[in-house]
Structure 1
Amino acid sequence: MNTPTPSTAPRHRLRFYRAVWRWHFYAGLLVLPVIAWLALTGAAYLYKTPLDRAFHHRLKVVDIGRERLRPQQLLEAASRAQPGQVFRYTTPATDDASVEVAVMTPDARHEVVYVDPYTGAVLGQLPDRGTLAGVIRRLHSLDLFGPIASGVIELAAGWAILLVLTGVYLWWPRARVAHPAQVPAGQLGRGDLGGVLWVRGRPPQRLFWRDLHAVTGVLVGGVLLFLALTGMPWSVLWGAKVNQWVNGHDFGYPRGVRVEVPMSTQRLGQTTTPAWSLRQAQLPASTLPDPHAGHAGHDMRGMADIQGQAHDAMGLNAAIARFDALGVAPGYSVSLPRGAHGVYTASVYPSDLHAQRVVHLDQYSGQVLLDVGYDAYGPAGRALEWGINVHLGQEYGTANQLVLLLACAGIVLLCVSGAVMWWKRRPQRGLGVPPMPVERGTLRVIFGLLLIGGLLFPLVGASLLLIAALDRWWLGDNARATQ
């Protein structure tokens, strides 16, 4: 396809522009459907709490009574309704919320039993993470589609970063290097901001969709870049490696974690769902009491009958009373001790980052073995958690949710306009890949820039090499054949 070129545009800039456009096309081809999916599911997940309270009202919402029953009574009620090993007890976040008791059944299923904290009535049960919000989150993270699909998230995030950066270059106002979709050169000069700040044309015209794509992209591109970067911590390779890197160092992992207490081989992520930067944190170990010493004052109605733990453990009632006295924010989850050296762990991650907290108690003495909050994180941990909290729409309340909701709508529009624009310019044969520059120097520069990103994100880098090979030996020949 011949492209009108402004006389003021140097040929090397035109070559570079076309090379950038080619990789922008590849990035869009690979990730636009995934990005649209993530935007739709992410927008829904912004309102996870009201969605769950509305959709599971019978399980989640209770009438406020005068006084709550003791936690052990509620746990026993849940255990009667669903026999098995109780591994987590979640306290109500609000006065009208139910208690959630997570049980591993004899056939190894994880079920959550909902109990009225005022009457002890069992309201029903669901699979763990089986609420509407839980399903939306698993759809958003692609967990429902297996471990391989988790790698798609990392690839989509990396290619979305490439999509935004190349898109900004293509959008940037200049004495226009011609775009194959562009109107005649005289229609867009230095002073014309059509297609830069506003949309020209009408919906039947490709110019309309091209401008809509460009203007929408510049409006939501920054948010898309932010979401891609802050979504990386959940990725299968990059996220896991960075998690290991920030844990065990003062700049990331909380300074108070590596204290001189006996450490178990258990990880915090095995018993609860902690902040991302704490998933690899080891749990401290309870110290077995002297069998000849008394333990008067402990709640002897602990976990002996139901959980098979030592009779001199402090018990759930005393543990929750201790957590409440320490000022842990309401709605915290308590992971019960696993074995003789296990600990009671309270964890809570509310919208306020500074209220994030993890507290470990010795199951026998009730001694605080570890008490970690956001303010104790290193700078890398704080930055990561802040990014994740904003990504989830929690950090700045309603404003945070509205900005992300509008951005998600814009991202979907960006994907749709890109698809329509391609459809209107597609050739009768082939994908309609933008022309490949024949100058090796231009290709080397572009590929060198891409490799920098590939080094930062190895899985994305591997996919870049694969696409570059296809581009060089197969797609390139087809594209040249159609030019």
Structure 2
Amino acid sequence: MKKNEKLNKWLWKWHFIAGLISLPFILLLSITGGIYLFKTDYEASTQKAIKEVTIQENTIPLQQQWEIANKAAIKKPNAMIISDRKNQATEFVSGRFSGKSSVYIDPYTGKVSGEIVTRNTDMYKIRKLHGELLMGTFGTKIVELIASWMVVLILTGLYVWWPSRGWNLKGFFIPRIKEGKRTFYRDIHAITGFWISGMLILVLAGGFPWTDVFGSNFKTVQKITNTGFPNTWQGIGLQSNSDTKPISLDQMVAKAKALQLPGSVKIHFPKGPKGVFSVSNTNPSDLDTQQKIHFDQYTGKMLLKNNWQDVGILMRGRMWVMAFHQGEFGTWNWILMLCIAILLTIMSTAALVSFLIRKRKGSWGVPKVPHTFNIGYGIVTIIGILAVVFPLFGASVLILLLIELIKKMRKKRKVAFSV
């Protein structure tokens, strides 16, 4: 591919500026993302005293455990996780996401082994630092803006990296180690960026659904196109016939176990006398096996069964990239995400070192673009598409254009006054 050198300099300028502004945030995101990958192992150790119990001969009924949990929990539980190990306390769940709390009942003694409030955990703080910089919705928008510019950094970086005078192994695929520190660190940054660029796009795709503006727009598109969760997934419109006594939780758990669902299985409790029991499983390693099944709370009769194929394609794609982002597809995925977090940290650090070596005193060293360069329609179209897909990026571009316009107006005024 023959490169337009003027375009190359223009893209290099904006890659440089955007990278310099984004660099501290990218380092923070890569480091906190890498730490969060250890959530399961960390919490297994720190929460062991709450989640694990001493195995005894007999267990008390789950219905009785539910009654104990209702009295002990901060909020009345709306679901229960089915235990798959004998030394595991029974987990009763209240709320979702950041509002989630779990009370654990010893199935042998009926004692409360402890309660875990998600927002009070160490890993929740790491996640909030990663997702919103501990600044609430304002921080979420900053992270979304940085993530949007990261897409631009990847695209512009690939163009700048692309050789204009033929291919060479050194400098394009492996770093040059005998041409000075600046060249070495520049190569570390550029070559690492090349090798992980595709994976970074996929990782970013898995993070965008959590954002405010893009995430909200994506949900709107899902709703309009009817490609999200179907109403039946949440059991909307389903009712239990209250003619008899409700079945016990033990009976409901027996029915859930008979389904032999893989992964973590949860029973959602009925909401009121007309509500239904709902059984669902979370199995990120094989999303296609996930189901949501609803039962009459009085007869135990299956009312409706939803398979993963009943979920709209955009929601299925969204859940796939989000699971990939969190390394939930197994050991290979976890290792890959950890490697990407480490390489992104190395790549960003190398860029900073290269900049500091290159920078002259009293100057930021921003690359210069020939005055004769004009942005073509192709670049304008690409920027327009990115601005529509990533609204915060579009807003930032408008601000940059406004700043450039003000600078030009000031220059014209200075020339006019000097004449």
Using the size of structure 1 for normalisation, the TM-score is: 0.75
Label 1:194 to 1:83 Cα distance change in 2 as closer, same or farther (>3 A).
closer
- Correspondent of 2:331 among 382, 389, 398: 398
Given the alignment of the two structures, is residue 363 of structure 1 paired with residue 353 of structure 2, yes or no? no
Label 1:367 to 1:197 Cα distance change in 2 as closer, same or farther (>3 A). Answer: same
Match of 1:215 in 2: 191
Q: How many residues align?
A: 407
CA distance in 2: counterparts of 1:60 and 1:421, whole angstroms: 48
Aligned to 1:100: 91
Tell me, yes or no, if structure 1 residue 172 matches structure 2 residue 162: yes
Partners of 1:246 and 1:381 within 8 A in 2:
yes
Whether the 8 Å CA contact 1:81–1:122 is kept in 2: the answer is: yes
- In structure 1, stretches of 5+ residues that fail to align are 1-8, 176-189, 260-280, 299-312, 479-483
User: Is residue 2:114 matched to residue 1:139?
Assistant: no
Asked if 1:57 is matched to 2:48, the reply is yes
Deviations 1:432-458 (A, max 9, x none): 322244235237654442222111222
The residue identity in structure 2 corresponding to 1:205 is K
Q: Is the 8 A contact 1:253 1:377 kept in 2?
A: yes
Identity %: 29
The Cα shift of 1:94 comes to 4.1
Q: Read off the aligned partner of 2:7 and give its amino acid letter.
A: F
Per the TM alignment, residue 210 of structure 1 is displaced from its structure 2 partner at its CA by 0.7
2:108 pairs with one of 108, 112, 118: 118
Contact 1:52 1:60 in 2 (8 A): no
Equivalents in 2 of 1:191, 1:327: separation in Å?
55
User: How far apart are the structure 1 equivalents of 2:163 and 2:123?
Assistant: 42
Q: Which residue of 1 aligns with 2:35?
A: 44
More helix by share: 2
Matches within 5 A, 1:15-414: 15-66=6-57, 68-82=59-73, 84-103=75-94, 111-142=101-132, 144-175=134-165, 190=166, 192-201=168-177, 205-247=181-223, 249=225, 252-253=227-228, 257-258=230-231, 283-287=235-239, 289=241, 293=243, 295=244, 298=245, 313-329=246-262, 331-350=264-283, 351-395=285-329, 397-414=330-347
The secondary structure found in structure 2 opposite 1:399 is: helix
- Structure 2 partner of 1:6: none
CA distance in 2 between partners of 1:153 and 1:126 (Å): 28
- Contact (CA 8 Å) 1:36, 1:412: kept in 2 or not? yes
Structure-2 change in CA distance of 1:426 and 1:150 (3 Å):
same
After superposition, the Cα gap between the structure-2 partners of 1:444 and 1:248, relative to the gap in structure 1 and judged at 3 Å, is closer
Structure 2 Cα separation of the partners of residues 388 and 103 of structure 1: 23
Give the Cα–Cα distance (whole angstroms) in 1 for the partners of residues 30 and 410 of structure 2: 35
In the aligned structure 2, how far is the partner of 1:103 from the partner of 1:385? 23
Give distance in 2, aligned partners of 1:419 and 1:139: 22
CA distance in 1, matches of 2:408, 2:286: 50
- Name the SS for the 1:113 alignment partner: strand
Change (3 A) 1:288 1:13: closer
Distance 1:362 1:23, change over 3 A: farther
Tell me, in whole angstroms, the C-alpha distance in 2 between the residues paired with 1:57 and 1:366. 34
Quote the Cα distance in structure 1 between the aligned partners of 2:179 and 2:103: 52
Aligned residue identity for 1:100: E
Q: CA deviation at 1:43?
A: 1.9
Following the alignment from structure 2 to structure 1, what is the Cα–Cα distance between the partners of residues 85 and 404?
A: 56
1: distance between equivalents of 2:22 and 2:307?
37
CA distance in 2, matches of 1:97, 1:439: 71
The AA in structure 2 aligned to 1:237 is V
1:442 counterpart SS class: coil
CA RMSD of aligned residues (A): 3.1
